[in-house]
Amino acid sequence: MPDFVEEWGLAMMTPEEEFQLQKMDFPITVFRGGTGTFKEVAEGVSWTLKPEIAAFYASTWPKRWGDEREPLILTMQVEEEEVHAYLNGRGEAELLIPYSVHLKKSMKVVDYQ
């Protein structure tokens, strides 16, 4: 998946999304929600600017599929060169960060309650 994002991330954006990405004031804070271990959640490429979206993917979304593992939300600061695309077609303010797993040392767990 990281290779796909790196190669196709820019092509996935609309002109408006590309403009919004260029306007962002880096470094920025991003969030990622999921279930399972810290490592499992950290390896994902989809991050968001909205903590409420991360909370949805940590709790509501997994339960729809019967996943009862512990919800987890991570946050970190990223620089512009680490972001390969910004997608907002679903209103999720999604940033594609293909090698986020390499940034694990800068990640923190967020209390989503």
Tell me the per-residue pLDDT of 9-19, one tens digit each, with 9 for 90 and over: 667 889 999 99
Residue 68 token pair: 């009862």
Percentage above 70 pLDDT, the chain = 85
For 84-109, the pLDDT digits (tens) are: 899 998 999 999 998 877 787 788 99
Sign of CA dihedral 48, 50, 51, 54: negative
Residues 31 and 42: their CA atoms lie apart, in Å, by 10
Closest to 95 measured CA to CA, from 39, 25, 45: 45
8 A C-beta contact, residue 97 and residue 82: yes
Q: Residue 79 is inside which H or E element, if any? A: none
Residues 5 and 22: their CA atoms lie apart, in Å, by 18
* Residue ranges per structural domain of the chain: 2-110
Q: Does residue 3 register a pLDDT over 70?
A: no
Closest to 72 measured CA to CA, from 113, 30, 38, 106: 38
Mean pLDDT of the chain: 86
Residue 48 pairs in a beta bridge with 31, 94
Q: What is the pTM of this model?
A: 0.85
